[in-house]
Structure 1
Amino acid sequence: MAKHPYVLQAQRYVKGVVSGKVMACQWVVAACVRHLQDLERSKKKDFPYKFVKPTAERVCEFLELMPHIKGPKARNGELIELEDWQCFILVVVFGWVHKKTGFRRFRRVYIEVPRGNAKSTLSSGVALYMLTADDEAGPEVYSAATTRDQAKIVFGDARSMVKKRRDMVRHYGLDNQVRYLLCGANDGIFRPLSRDGETQDGLNIHFGCLDELHAHKTREVYEVVETGAGKRDQSLIWAITTAGFNRSGICYEIRSYVTQILRKALAEWDDNPYTLKGDVADDEQQFGIIYTLDDDDDWTDERVWQKANPNWGVSVMPDYVAGLAHKAMQMASAQNGFKTKHLNLWVNADQAWMDMRAWERGADYDLSVEDFSGESVILSLDLASKVDLAVRVKLFQGQVSGETHYYVFASFYLPERQVSESGNAQYEGWVADGWIQATEGDVIDFGLIEADIQSDAEAFDLTSVPYDPWQATQLAQRMAEKDVPMVEYRQTVQNFSEAMKDLEALVLSGRLHHDGNPVLAWCISNVVCHTDAKDNIYPRKERPENKIDGAVALIMALGSTLREADDSQLVYDGM
């Protein structure tokens, strides 16, 4: 037997992914490339980390001593056999240590993988390892979630594993109770932790598992775990999830951060074949891997499904996935469930209107509104309520190869009180990054918006400023007195239906461009398309917290533009 079989298994996986022999999306490729880059960097004195093979092996050896607890393998009394992708994650997370202290390098882990790929089994085994075998005195291990039932899934699986290994109970002095699992050998404890449970204060966390992070509507539980883990030398936060619907939540925030880290690895890879869009980040303590499809993949093509499902043919059965896909192709109501749970594609609303992958392809991070100085522009306003999100959208036109293309820039406003009290986990980050302008007090300062409109009038050629008279009549009167071309645009089915259809066509045909504004993307993804008996459509939202103001303002801007446009320019073959 090889001296370090699990490391060799992981190396085989890395080689297969990077060479293209193992089908994988760009984020999995990036995670493998990052590991190879780190191995080269570790040869230099100024790189503070090293990869220790025996340390990497230990956690894998432990997990393969754990029994299956569900299905035919459990019935046959079989032990877990780690797949190549699982070995890769484990040896990288546990094998990298600090050269001087020997403490674990990675303190935060984000794994995104679809349903059926043995997420809970992997997490339960790691949790038991951290409780019993990580050489930590008095380890506190938690399975954390927003509800008791969700928190008990990983904890319950771990308890079931322990029940089947009486030798493990004796060796570590385990006390397996309904509400907790005690380890007498090191005074450790493992228990579920939920938002609706007992107090979360005073935790000294060694390992925190956040299962199905996409279901966390607020950042509260994550921040409790993150804060509680700061008291240990090599604590580990383990977030594992499928894709979800909430792009304003803590899960998508962390996912976006992980993609920035992985994008950096691709940017520094000489053989990178991917077109890279977006920011990069450098964080030596964050590990991340995302199993999904690539932007250009057709979700109906069965040849790409394996990219998102690393346990393809093991615990994810191709015939079963094919059956679900066939149903999703026939029933629009089943599409988003299939995409999120089985292909790890993020969508926001259960009956979403926009193809968000097509929207993201329209992002041009080099776009700057200053490039359009002096040009004609439609400036639309959706002011809604003084205590909620307000937006002004600028829509420019340009000719590319004889076709009209559109360029969008959005500016958002929100009262400071709403930023802190709304429950939206991303508002504060968007304010810090300049995507939302927070106005002092409890209500939006319309005077600030008026000043920005006046500045736009000086910098650009305002052809019209469409606005909904509800909540904006007085502002419109004041602006009109300053010769700003205010145009009333009522939010009716008649005014919105064709504009929505045309906007979708422009996005799908690649003729609408934006600067990657995440708030606008969130608003677009929140739109639910309501269709009436005459095939008219109108934007709606499923829940009050799913704001669509940016989408509404963009539809108004395009609707105003298209009143004078040649309809023939908006033909899209795929519609």
Structure 2
Amino acid sequence: MNFHVFQDGVLSGEIPLGQLAIKAVQRHADWYALDDRYFDLVEVNRVFSILSLMRHTSGDYGGKPFTLLPWQSWAIAQIFGWRWKANDKRIIRKAYVEVAKKNGKTELAAAIGLLMAFFDGEFGAEVYTAANKLEQAKICWGSAAAMTRFLKRDSQSFDKMIELHDSFNNSKIFSRAHNAKFIPIASDSKTLDGLRPNCAIIDEFHESTDDSVLRNLESGMVNRSQPLLFIITTAGFNINGACYQYRKVVCDIVDGKAQDDSTFGLVFTLDEGDDWNDPANRYKANPSIGVTPTHEAMEIAYQRAINEGQSSEVNFKTKNLNIWVRQAKTWIQDHLWMTCAKPLDKEALRGRTCFGAFDLSSNRDLTAWGLLFPPDEEGGDFVFTCRYFAPRENAEIRARRDRVPYMDWEKEGYLELTEGNITDQARIYDTVLEDAEFYQIDSIYYDRWQSTKLATELLDAGARVTPFAQTVTQFNEPIRMIEELVATGKFNHGGDPVLRWMCGNVAMKYWNGLCKFDKDKSREKIDGMVVLAMCFAGYLNWLAQHGESVYNDRDMFML
């Protein structure tokens, strides 16, 4: 199989891919000039021969020979062909492939699993398809089981060698002669203990709630001489999740910003600035288009996105164009929110009138303290700055467990980690007083539910503190104003990454035409957004009382 046709077409520009995919192809083309490795064409042809014995398992191609598409043959060749001269072992041990849905990724993963279980020369091979839930893991394994049935039917020797169990509580493909097995597993820690995979497959990694599956499988591979962790996925909605964080590492490797020869990365997606409406860009995310999906099916999906509006549009971009987009039910879409990420000079805000608010955590997680600065000239932007606090012990746990980048935010100066495992209200009190020396704080709003102690201390220090009831009647007008300012570009949050994350977490509650943030249904922390709304409540209350510029003379909280 001439996989060089794909490589040559990409590098010549004849095959129109995005920059991430082009860089991946160029990276491995450059390996031919390196003296410490070689490309084993004999092994690659052996792999191709074995895969050709398998059959597709569903759809129009069900039962037909498993014919690799050009991009698939190129990826297989890189993963199985490159070897170190020093020990003849495979170089690639981890592969991350990201491509739009319906491009044959699951059956490709299933075929690789069978290859690694029974045709890689590894006695005692252990191959696993893994996911957070067993049902998800069984999707890829189910394709492998269907392929196994065809192999057993087509080959008498394979039929004798391989046993297949496919029932509710016993899903296993195994060979007694080779002590090899291929089974699906879920992320339960007890299930993962003691595994020694020579190959692990994570299908649709974007659905994983954390990276525990990946890390456990990686650690189990340490005693294998040439294991393979194969991750294949479509883009998702959670840019702070385990998949996207891993993707960033892979993209840095492909881009040459990081070095790891053991990792293969291939991401098919549009480039920044590409028009998602242009059919010419669809190939960038769909290297199998014309075969699967068909051009007709893609056009039908596109028309549905156009006709049905925002939710369908987001789904089309994510699933059919492999673009990471915030969740379909996001309150404000990320691309719109980021148009308000403008340069922010805090020194220029010195002495300006502002409205403050804080939202205390329940002792163990994030607390937010924010300030909203109305425009000081007609047509100017509302500026919002926010500071976040969290107990260090809890932040470290969440960073490891949930892949929330708390430690990165600390390094970047957005998050202050206090010692211990409970919220340090004294530090927040000191911060408010520090800001009062720098800005003219008109008022400070707070949630009376668990902030009374701090509010009382600030009142004693001379602050004008006001309780805020987090109801639809109180939230509605501030939220509507935020929506309008973001939509018109009259808001500036300075690109705050914590606030960006929180904005993407927001779930809304609607009642009789009114709205509020719904903390219970929001999938993660939204404290900064709550503080932003309370700051706007303070500003709107000012306007209601005075009906004039906030820069007219008035007593302010300054020290």
Alignment of 1:315-334 (within 5 A): 315-328=292-305, 329-330=307-308, 332=310, 334=312
2:287 to 310, 318, 322: 310
CA distance in 1, matches of 2:374, 2:16: 40
The answer for the alignment partner of 2:61 in structure 1 is: 73
CA distance in 2, matches of 1:197, 1:176: 26
The answer for the alignment partner of 1:276 in structure 2 is: none
- Residue type at the aligned position of 1:12: D
CA distance in 1, matches of 2:423, 2:30: 52
CA distance in 1, matches of 2:377, 2:41: 55
1:155 positional shift: 1.6
2:162 to 171, 174, 177: 174
CA contact (8 A) 2:130 2:200 kept: yes
1:443 positional shift: 2.9
Distance verdict in 2 for CA 1:198–1:387, change over 3 Å: closer
- Residue type at the aligned position of 2:17: A
Tell which deviates more after alignment, 123-132 or 300-309: 300-309
The answer for the alignment partner of 2:17 in structure 1 is: 24
Distance verdict in 2 for CA 1:542–1:209, change over 3 Å: farther
1:387 positional shift: 3.5
The answer for the alignment partner of 1:472 in structure 2 is: 451
1:411 to 378, 388, 394: 388
- Residue type at the aligned position of 2:515: I
TM-superposition CA deviations, 1:423-461 (whole Å, max 9, x none): 95114x423652654445553121222233333334555
Alignment of 1:416-435 (within 5 A): 416-417=393-394, 420=397, 425-427=402-404, 429-431=405-407, 434=410
CA distance in 2, matches of 1:249, 1:321: 28
The answer for the alignment partner of 2:196 in structure 1 is: 204
2:357 to 369, 374, 380: 380
The answer for the alignment partner of 2:183 in structure 1 is: 191
The answer for the alignment partner of 1:40 in structure 2 is: 30
CA distance in 1, matches of 2:123, 2:494: 50
1:124 positional shift: 0.6
CA distance in 2, matches of 1:65, 1:422: 45
CA contact (8 A) 2:20 2:267 kept: no
Matched, 1:523 2:502: yes
Matched, 1:254 2:246: yes
The answer for the alignment partner of 2:228 in structure 1 is: 236
Distance verdict in 2 for CA 1:51–1:513, change over 3 Å: farther
TM-superposition CA deviations, 1:476-519 (whole Å, max 9, x none): 22123334554544434455334434434444555545565543
Alignment of 1:547-558 (within 5 A): 547-558=525-536
Question: What SS class does the counterpart of residue 165 from structure 1 fall into?
Answer: helix
Tell which deviates more after alignment, 313-322 or 153-162: 313-322
The answer for the alignment partner of 1:277 in structure 2 is: none
1:523 positional shift: 1.4
Work out which of the two has the higher radius of gyration on C-alpha atoms and give 1 or 2: 2
The answer for the alignment partner of 2:552 in structure 1 is: none
CA contact (8 A) 1:56 1:95 kept: yes
1:357 positional shift: 2.7
TM-superposition CA deviations, 1:39-85 (whole Å, max 9, x none): 4366355xx555444444443443333211112222xx421222222
1:10 to 2, 6, 12: 6
Q: Matched residues, percent identical? A: 29
Tell which deviates more after alignment, 100-109 or 136-145: 100-109
CA distance in 2, matches of 1:324, 1:509: 30
CA distance in 1, matches of 2:542, 2:314: 36
Distance verdict in 2 for CA 1:475–1:327, change over 3 Å: same
CA distance in 2, matches of 1:361, 1:168: 59
Tell which deviates more after alignment, 440-449 or 333-342: 333-342
CA distance in 2, matches of 1:360, 1:95: 42
CA distance in 1, matches of 2:485, 2:505: 18
CA distance in 2, matches of 1:446, 1:417: 16
CA contact (8 A) 2:173 2:182 kept: yes
1:542 positional shift: 6.5
- Residue type at the aligned position of 1:110: Y
TM-superposition CA deviations, 1:292-313 (whole Å, max 9, x none): 4444345555554443322222
In structure 2, runs of 5+ residues without a counterpart are 548-559
CA distance in 2, matches of 1:130, 1:511: 56
Distance verdict in 2 for CA 1:519–1:63, change over 3 Å: farther
TM-superposition CA deviations, 1:513-545 (whole Å, max 9, x none): 5565543322111212344443x4322257364
TM-score, normalised to structure 2's length? 0.82
Alignment of 1:37-436 (within 5 A): 37-40=27-30, 43=33, 49-74=37-62, 77-166=63-152, 170=157, 173-178=161-166, 179-183=171-175, 186-195=178-187, 199-262=191-254, 264-265=255-256, 281-297=258-274, 299=276, 302-328=279-305, 329-330=307-308, 332=310, 334-360=312-338, 362-363=340-341, 374=350, 376=352, 378-395=355-372, 403-404=380-381, 406=383, 408-414=385-391, 416-417=393-394, 420=397, 425-427=402-404, 429-431=405-407, 434=410, 436=415
CA distance in 1, matches of 2:385, 2:273: 23
TM-score, normalised to structure 1's length? 0.80
Matched, 1:543 2:533: no
Question: What SS class does the counterpart of residue 293 from structure 2 fall into?
Answer: coil
Question: What SS class does the counterpart of residue 221 from structure 2 fall into?
Answer: helix
Task: Give me the CA root mean square deviation.
Answer: 3.7
Distance verdict in 2 for CA 1:30–1:53, change over 3 Å: farther
CA distance in 2, matches of 1:391, 1:423: 22
CA contact (8 A) 1:249 1:424 kept: no
Matched, 1:497 2:513: no
Distance verdict in 2 for CA 1:558–1:131, change over 3 Å: same
